[in-house]
Amino acid sequence: MGKYFLKLPKMGESVMEATLTKWLKEVGESVDIDDIVVEIATDKVDSDVPSEVKGILIEKKFIENDVVQVGEVMAVIQTDGDEINDQEGNKELIEFKSEEIHESSKKEEKIEAPLPQPKTFSLPDPLPEFETISKSIDNVRNMLSSEPQNISSEFLSPLVKSIVKAEGLDQEELKLIRGSGKNNRITKKDILMYLSQRRSSFTSAKDKYSTLSSRSSHLISSTKTTTGSDTVLKGDGDQIIEMTRMAKLTADHMIRSKQTSAHVQSFIEADMTNLWDWREKVKNDFLEREGEKLTLTPLLITALIKALKEFPLLNSSVEGETITQKRDINIGMAAAMADGNLIVPVIKNADHLNMVGLAKAVNDLAHRARTQQLKPEEVQDGTFTFTNIGNFGSLTGTPIINQPQVGIVAVGIIRKMPAVIETKYGDSIAIRKKMIISHSYDHRIINGAMGGKFIKSMSDYLENWDKDYSI
């Protein structure tokens, strides 16, 4: 008999975790090759995790709504053969992490986070209370160890080392723990007892602080919440809404992007009249011949690809101090989902597709994005991102770069505008269809000149669209 460890697969760039949404197999059930065992969700896509072996599900490592890291074992399947895709010695550690760390880290993070301090109200001095708390924590430590001892990492088992690392225990704390193992070695039991005592102490500290704060509650007539470093007063009619899982993950991704890249924007107004008129002329024939609608998106992406070929450094990624200029042009296309969230499916090798191929790829990905039918590989490996915010009536915007890419283009709504045009009879004022293109780029490697020339190239291609172009 062998064991197969079903792990969370790699889900794409910058995706390091997923939420386990639903188990489709129960412990004791038989599993065939390619059977879906569990459903997962990330900020980019919902997906299924199939089994690569045939056997019986004998253990689940997580419950529904748990967050799982890429590479972590989610389930164990017993097989008839000798297939083992992980070391048995990691089993105990995985069990500990799923049962102990998962719960303890949540509690400690909440307790150890800085507690909000009112800015405009005077509270009683809490120092005497916290002196008592500090003494109680010291008593716990003394209870666990009557005298310090020197602990060398060489004498800790791999499991204990892993727990120490996960809990962030330093050498001074290890000295406080009296080992019950052979030659006074610290065991898993010793570590867990210490952590339990430590959590109890901090819980007591939190309770005492809550009591202290309640003494001055009569001074505060409104509920206070903290956003960053600012204290916000909430009225009686305010509604507190919990962020969705996807919203939290998206927010984290956007914040990390702003902290990583030096965002700069360039803007240009493009005359879309020629392209608009051409599309109106051919769209019905295209629909009848190809069975697909010819939207503006594939036409805009065509111009984007032309500009990327002219400025290949925009088709790059940055990791640390290394720039990787991509050979393939894989266009990420922001698409709206049914729940209002956005997802970015990727058109692979977009520069190898003709207009018909681009139109079909755009329509297919947009449809499956709305119906949540995208596969994990279809939201990976993008080299540049395009978003059409004009679909929502926006004039323009400043999109955030999708890391580790170095640029993103947003197009706004197309409007009828009075414009000065040159004719053989001189300048004239006419009604033209105009659109603003905005380009956000990473100023670490793309300077303002290149960023501006890039969207100028895209704009020129759109403005000079051949009215006799055939597809």
Tokens 């727990």 found at:
163
| pLDDT attached to residue 463 | 95
Are both 260 and 143 inside the same structural domain? no
Residue 229 confidence (pLDDT): 46
Distance CA 154, CA 231 (A): 48
Q: For the whole model, what pTM was predicted?
A: 0.57
- Let me know whether 110 and 71 are in one domain: no
Q: Are 144 and 190 in contact (CB under 8 A)?
A: no
Residues 359 and 420 in one domain: yes
Give the model's pLDDT for residue 100: 46
Q: What is the pLDDT of residue 101?
A: 44
User: Do the domain assignments include residue 227?
Assistant: no
Query: Does residue 385 share a domain with residue 428?
Result: yes
| Residue 249, pLDDT score | 76
62 and 140 in a single domain? The answer is no
| pLDDT for residue 146 | 44
User: 169 near 157, Cβ under 8 Å?
Assistant: no
CA distance 178 to 190: 7
Distance, CA of 295 to CA of 83 (rounded, Å)? 50
Question: Is 303 a member of any domain?
Answer: yes
Residue 471 lies in a domain: no
pLDDT along the chain (471 residues), means of 10: 87 74 90 89 78 90 89 90 54 45 46 49 49 54 48 63 76 75 76 75 57 51 47 71 78 84 94 96 94 94 96 93 94 85 91 95 92 87 94 92 94 95 89 96 94 96 91 81
Residues 145, 8, single domain; the answer is no
Domain end among 194, 215, 236? 215
- Give yes or no: residues 142 and 47 share one domain: no
- Whether 407 and 442 have beta carbons less than 8 Å apart is answered as yes
Out of 174, 191, 215, a domain closes at 215
- 43 lies in the same domain as 158: no
Do β-strands 407-411 and 384-388 pair in parallel, antiparallel, or remain unpaired? Answer: parallel
**Which domain does 73 fall in, by range?**
2-86
Please indicate, yes or no, whether residues 390 and 442 belong to a single structural domain of this protein.
yes
Co-location of 334 and 454 in the same domain:
yes
Task: Look up the CATH number of the domain holding residue 290.
Answer: 3.30.559.10
* CB-based contact 429:240 (threshold 8 Å): no
Same domain, 71 and 103: no
- 298 within a domain of the structure (yes/no): yes
Q: Which amino acid is at 38?
A: V
Report d(CA 459, CA 276) in Å as an integer: 14
Asked if the structure places residue 470 within a domain, the reply is no
Check which CATH number belongs to the domain holding 35 and give it. 2.40.50.100
Structural domain includes residue 335: yes
What is the rounded distance in angstroms from the CA atom of residue 457 to the CA atom of residue 264? Answer: 18
Same domain, 285 and 414: yes
Question: How many structural domains comprise the chain?
Answer: 3
Q: Is residue 376 part of a domain?
A: yes
Question: Is 229 inside any structural domain?
Answer: no
- Residue 397: the pLDDT is 93
Q: What is the DSSP string of 231-293?
A: EEEE-TT----PPPHHHHHHHHHHHHHHHHS-EEEEEEEEE-HHHHHHHHHHHHHHHHHHSS-
